[in-house]
Amino acid sequence: MRKYRCQEELETVICNCCGKKMIVKNGILREGAIHIDHAWDYFSEKDGEIHHLDLCENCYDEIISGFRIAVEKEPAVEMI
Ligand SMILES: [Zn+2]
């Protein structure tokens, strides 16, 4: 869950799973987290709904550890 100050500057990020308030300084999230914005479409049971959520790194790790198929990983390429 994210709150913005003046519609633009990130003020607060809270993990939707455990409720942990994550560190935000000067509008920048300062710890590992995953943010999802997903627009459900016609083929889902949630057609027309857009879901937003944030997970802290610990909750993310716990959730994916229960996956039957591991998350695919690759090294990130730094853009300079
Ligand atoms: Zn969490």
The pLDDT tens digits of the residues spanning 49-71 come to 999 999 999 999 999 999 999 99
pLDDT exceeds cutoff 80 at 4: yes
Q: How far is the CA of 1 from the centre of ligand 1 (A)?
A: 11
Alpha carbons within 13 angstroms on the beta-carbon side of residue 80 total 0
Ion ligand 1, residues whose Cβ is below 5 A away: 15, 17-18, 20, 56, 59
> pLDDT tens-digit profile of 26-39?
999 999 999 999 99
Please give the distance, rounded to the nearest whole angstrom, from the Cα atom of residue 80 to the centre of ligand 1: 31
Domain boundaries along the sequence of the chain: 2-64
Asked if the model's pLDDT at residue 46 lies above 80, the reply is yes
pTM of the model: 0.85
DSSP 23: P
CA–CA distance, 33 with 2 (Å, rounded to integer): 12
Alpha carbon of 52 to ligand 1 centroid (Å): 15
Does 8 score more than 90 pLDDT?
Answer: no
